[in-house]
Amino acid sequence: MHIPDGFLDAKTVVATAAASAFALKHNMAKVKEELNERELPALGVMAAFIFAAQMVNFPVMAGTSGHLLGAALAAVLVGPYSAGLILTTVLIVQCLFFQDGGLTALGANILNIAVAAPFVAQFVYNAVRKFNFAGSGTAATFLSAWFSVMAAAFLTSAELALSGTVRLGAVLTPMMIVHAVIGIGEGLITCAAVAYVGRVLNLKAKVSMNPDAGGGVN
């Protein structure tokens, strides 16, 4: 769901860049507090894994594909602040080296995928975990992934409408429908990846254990 150049007007470019810069500054302060030298390679390989996984588009309906965002994957394992910085790095690499996502849309893409999506994922994950039923961890992971995609799709639609590229009434429904399907793929991959990456790196799903710390690899 990377917005290319040309979809956003100047005011939306400036507003989203300012909002994501503000959020990232806050993220960095939070991550700095919880950063432990020994964990740095874990954050690096998680970013690398998300970059690789994002390349693998899967078919969703006739003539349409989707790919992992990884916002919930990262948020569940390392909390939304570290997740935000990991995803920002992925988005910058994609934009600068691979022309995936426009340079002028980088602020918007960061806001949607690296800032909003991990926080929605954390919120949904914690909300579902409260019920504490058998399999609530998996259900929480799946739903956090699905809602994180829907949140990013909603914001993308809103930014396109704000830019006057397309009417909100026209774009919102098709965006939400196609991403509701893509979100199922996101949910399935996230459940598998959280189980695998979490086990190998010895991370517990962090967000619910320590909600006010906002995560961190321990």
Q: List contacts with other proteins (CB under 8 A).
A: 1-7, 28, 31-32, 35, 37, 40-53, 55-60, 63-67, 85-86, 89-90, 92-94, 96-100, 102-104, 153, 156, 160, 165-166, 170-171, 174-175, 178-179, 182, 196-197, 200-202
Give the nearer residue to other proteins in terms of CB position, either 200 or 209: 200
Instruction: Let me know the angle formed at the C-alpha of 174 by 177 and 50, rounded to the nearest 5 degrees.
Output: 60
Q: How far is the CB of 82 from other proteins (least distance, A)?
A: 9
Give the three-class secondary structure for 95: helix
Euclidean distance between CA atoms 106 and 13, whole angstroms: 8
Q: How far is the CB of 67 from other proteins (least distance, A)?
A: 6
Q: How far is the CB of 69 from other proteins (least distance, A)?
A: 11
Euclidean distance between CA atoms 77 and 199, whole angstroms: 10
Q: How far is the CB of 170 from other proteins (least distance, A)?
A: 6
Give the nearer residue to other proteins in terms of CB position, either 3 or 75: 3
Euclidean distance between CA atoms 170 and 172, whole angstroms: 6
Q: How far is the CB of 32 from other proteins (least distance, A)?
A: 6
Give the three-class secondary structure for 213: coil
For the chain, give the longest Cα–Cα distance: 49
Give the nearer residue to other proteins in terms of CB position, either 14 or 132: 14
Give the nearer residue to other proteins in terms of CB position, either 62 or 134: 62
Instruction: Let me know the angle formed at the C-alpha of 65 by 85 and 186, rounded to the nearest 5 degrees.
Output: 45
